[in-house]
A and B are shown apart, each in its own frame.
Chain A
Amino acid sequence: MTEIYPFIMTLLSALVFPGLLFTIALALFTEWYIRKAVAHMQSRMGPTYVGPIGLLQPLADLLKLLSVKEEMKQKYSMTWLAKAFGVIGIGAMIACLFLLPLSPVRFIGDYDFLIFIYLFGVWVPISIIAMALSIPNPFAHLGVSRLLTFIIVTEPAYFAGLLVPVTFASIKAEPVYSIYTTSIKALSLWSNPYYIPFMIIALIAVIASIQAKAMLNPFNIPEAEQELIAGFATEFSGPILAIFNLLHDIDIAISALFVTYVFLGGPSPFNHLSVPGVLLLIIKYIAVVTIISVIRSSFGRYRIDQAIHVLTKYSLVLALIAVIAANIIVYVFH
């Protein structure tokens, strides 16, 4: 009985908390929050009809697309491939959650940050691109080419930015270069005066790159509806569109959650299982998502060359400077 217990716990973690069920709930809540916050800033009402203050609107949209709307089968499409890659992308993001202290079952080890890059930085873009190319269309191809141009700048910036606290946290700690170690020690890094400037620079770089990774304003260029119809999502309909929307929402939620843990320490200085800890975690998460919403509602869309220029300047270069300086500090002082 005792041998089977870890398997059951892992299975429950993968499917319920913090796995599939919790992640979907978190992603839909995040979508509702961003929509409501942006609507408030633009003097609109946002979602109101389904559930209290429109809280269940994203769920209703998802269920409608999944279970009612017809899937249009285009002449050259492979719809099963689009769905398969969509669910693989979602699976990759959920597997990342086992690296965080949030999960009751934690898989940790030396250099697990690289596994995070493999799951989140490789599988997720590949699944979005493969989904789009499974249903070929000239607009989808243009969207994918814009997305690829973006990925060259945003992915290195996001992971280089996260590497700064990971590098600092690996000093005299086991396991090294681990998301878990960083999440535990993240808050104490802010008390060291040598680390603070680089942490701030890296945080700015990471938030700018999340904005572009999630394709929110001002970086919603790959799916710019006035230019490319819907970019790579042009031919998506019914369940495929539902899976894509879910993938997109989970992408935003997980990016923000990792910033909450790796930079802000999650619930620390409290525990996960205490009321102040849970409240603090929620407040930190909401703060990160609010910053994303404020940026989204304050800018219009850039042209692709302007966007790449802005991202290189405020995200990639800042992140690279911070990570190089962090390594020099660690090498010199320790």
Chain B
Amino acid sequence: MIYEYDPIQLTIILSGLMGLVAMVLYIIVKAIEPKYPTRSGDAIEPYIGGEHPSILSRPFVPEANLYWSFIKRNFAKAYGFLKEKMHTGRFSDWVNYMTMWMALLFLISLIVIIVLITGGV
């Protein structure tokens, strides 16, 4: 059986099916998981590799640094590359670079104008 829908209807139907399957699985897990009596008083501490809990209150390197260091290092590389190419100190290089950049902008604007005039056909 093939049912064809538009994307929004399809998203709603598949999200509904996702919810249905999740609900059934949750009920199954709840039904077969072991029922141990809840321990009161001796709640388990987070596992921190046998260290004293006081290390958690110490300042440490944020995890987000892993992401930002990667992004920053790569952008720094790109920036360094551009800096080396553009700022050589010679006037002719600067003129060359600016002419190329202006030519690119001119080309893009020309393409946009042509597309607008022809109606994108």
Q: Within the complex, which residue of B4, B44, B49 is in contact with A229, where a contact is CB–CB below 8 Å? A: B49
Considering only residues 3-47 of chain B, those with a C-beta below 8 Å from chain A are 3-7, 9-11, 13-15, 17-26, 29, 32-34, 36, 38-39, 43-47
- CB distance A109 to B21 under 8 Å? no
Contacts of A20 on B, CB cut-off 8 Å? 21, 24-25
- CB distance A67 to B43 under 8 Å? no
Q: Within the complex, which residue of B13, B18, B20 is in contact with A107, where a contact is CB–CB below 8 Å? A: B13
Q: Which residue of B lies closest to A24 (CB)?
A: B25
> Is B56 positioned at the interface, with any CB of A under 8 Å from its CB?
yes
Q: Within the complex, which residue of B14, B17, B18, B48 is in contact with A88, where a contact is CB–CB below 8 Å? A: B18
- CB distance A243 to B29 under 8 Å? yes
> Is B2 positioned at the interface, with any CB of A under 8 Å from its CB?
yes
- CB distance A73 to B63 under 8 Å? no
Please report the number of residue pairs spanning A and B whose Cβ atoms sit closer than 8 angstroms: 155
Contacts of B81 on A, CB cut-off 8 Å? none
Contacts of B9 on A, CB cut-off 8 Å? 109
- CB distance A98 to B63 under 8 Å? no
Q: What separation, in Å, do the CA atoms of A235 and B4 have in the docked complex?
A: 44
- CB distance B70 to A308 under 8 Å? yes
Q: What separation, in Å, do the CA atoms of A241 and B32 have in the docked complex?
A: 14
Mostly helix, strand, loop or mixed at chain B's interface?
helix
Name the distance in Å between B111's Cβ and chain A's nearest Cβ.
14
Chain A window 140-162, contacts with chain B (Cβ cutoff 8 Å), 1 for yes, 0 for no = 01101110110010000000000
- CB distance B34 to A69 under 8 Å? yes
Known contacts A75-B45, A109-B10; is-contact A305 B22 (Cβ 8 Å) = no
- CB distance A90 to B22 under 8 Å? yes
Q: Within the complex, which residue of A15, A76, A180 is in contact with B46, where a contact is CB–CB below 8 Å? A: A76
Q: Which interface residue of B32, B45, B63 has the most chain A CB atoms within 10 A? A: B63
Residues of B participating in the A interface, judged by any CB pair closer than 8 Å: 1-7, 9-11, 13-15, 17-26, 29, 32-34, 36, 38-39, 43-49, 56, 63-64, 66-67, 70
Residues of A participating in the B interface, judged by any CB pair closer than 8 Å: 6, 9-11, 14-15, 19-20, 66-76, 83-84, 87-88, 90-92, 94-96, 98-99, 104-112, 114-115, 118-119, 123, 136-139, 141-142, 144-146, 148-149, 152, 175, 180, 229, 234-235, 238-239, 242-243, 304-305, 308
